[in-house]
């Protein structure tokens, strides 16, 4: 008999969610904790860590937090080793940490382009590389890369971000191809325009971009971090054991829609 609750349960699993001090990462980590997983996360500053740990505690989650720059391979290896020592082998990795720089391409410095690529693309490679040996030894694992609608589309001022997220989509497919035989599933989740601190500048009253997004979205609203919780649990659970190399777009229908006629 198909046991729905068991299929979607994460009871006893160990999940590492990068950049989970707030926003999308925090929502995913909370969903995993509610589904029974043990949570580890990282951020880059003590200020964010203090606020995050207070939020986790308020929600009744005993999370293990690390101040770790996920672009530094040695630091990531040390973090993963400590998680394995304290919680056990990582069963679920969510590569969520990322940044965006909204600068016209001709005005963007190469070092800024490289920084976005480093955090949004190279870091997921580094963290996945660190957790894969444990997953291979254990005989299963789930890697979920937070891609973007801009893994598929371009837009003004986000050349570095679209390049990174397009690359992350293909890294996802390649991890799935390379390690599927070891019972490791690697998938992406592609948020649309989500109401987070990162998108706050786009959602100000009277901003024409806000009107544009509402007109381009069949559901006529911005998404919320909570909209990503169910899809993220699905991709981390046994319910998705034969889903591999897939990007699940959670965008309110933008990629399916040309938009309302003027």
CA distances from 103 to 12, 135, 156, 212 (A): 43, 39, 8, 19
In the chain, % of residues over pLDDT 90 = 89
**pLDDT above 80 (res 205):** no
Identify the H or E element spanning 68.
none
CA 189-125-224 angle, 5° bins = 25
Burial per residue of 3-12, b for 16 or more beta-carbon CB atoms within 10 angstroms, e otherwise: eeeeebbbee
Regarding pTM above 0.85, the answer is: yes
pLDDT digits (tens, 9 = 90+) for 15-36: 999 999 999 999 999 999 999 9
pLDDT digits (tens, 9 = 90+) for 67-107: 999 999 999 999 999 999 999 999 999 999 999 999 999 99
Instruction: Reply yes or no on whether 56 is catalytic.
Output: no
Please count the other Cβ atoms lying within 10 Å of the Cβ belonging to residue 250: 17
What pLDDT sits at residue 262?
Answer: 64
Q: Report the distance separating Cα 237 and Cα 34, nearest Å.
A: 13
Cα four-point dihedral sign 118, 121, 126, 131: positive
Catalytic residue among 56, 161, 179, 249: 161
**pLDDT above 70 (res 54):** yes
| DSSP 8-class letter at 89 | S
Domains of the chain: 4-194+224-252 (3.40.50.720)
In the chain, % of residues over pLDDT 70 = 99
pLDDT digits (tens, 9 = 90+) for 154-169: 999 999 999 999 999 9
What pLDDT sits at residue 199?
Answer: 85
């Amino acid at each position: 008999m198909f046991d729905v609750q068991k299929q979607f349960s994460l009871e006893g699993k160990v999940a590492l969610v990068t950049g989970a001090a707030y926003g999308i990462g925090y929502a995913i980590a909370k969903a995993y904790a509610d589904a029974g997983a043990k949570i580890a996360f990282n951020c880059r500053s003590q200020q964010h860590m203090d606020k995050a740990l207070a939020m986790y505690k308020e929600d009744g989650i005993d999370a293990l937090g690390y101040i770790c720059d996920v672009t530094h391979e040695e630091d990531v290896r040390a973090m993963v080793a400590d998680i394995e020592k304290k919680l056990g082998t990582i069963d679920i990795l969510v590569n969520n940490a990322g940044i965006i720089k909204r600068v016209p391409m001709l005005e963007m410095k190469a070092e800024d382009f490289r920084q976005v690529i480093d955090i949004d693309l190279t870091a997921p490679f580094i963290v996945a590389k660190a957790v894969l040996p444990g997953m291979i030894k254990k005989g299963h694992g789930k890697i979920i890369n937070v891609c973007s609608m801009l893994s598929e589309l371009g837009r003004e001022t986000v050349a570095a971000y679209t390049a990174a997220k397009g690359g992350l989509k293909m890294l996802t497919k390649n991890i799935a191809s390379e390690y599927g035989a070891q019972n490791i599933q690697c998938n992406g989740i592609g948020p649309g325009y989500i109401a987070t601190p990162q998108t706050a500048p786009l959602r100000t009253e009277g901003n024409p971009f806000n009107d544009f997004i509402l007109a381009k979205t069949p559901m006529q609203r911005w998404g919320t971090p909570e909209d990503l919780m169910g899809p993220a649990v699905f991709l981390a659970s046994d319910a998705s054991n034969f889903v591999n190399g897939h990007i699940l777009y959670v965008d309110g229908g933008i990629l399916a829609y040309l938009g309302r006629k003027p």
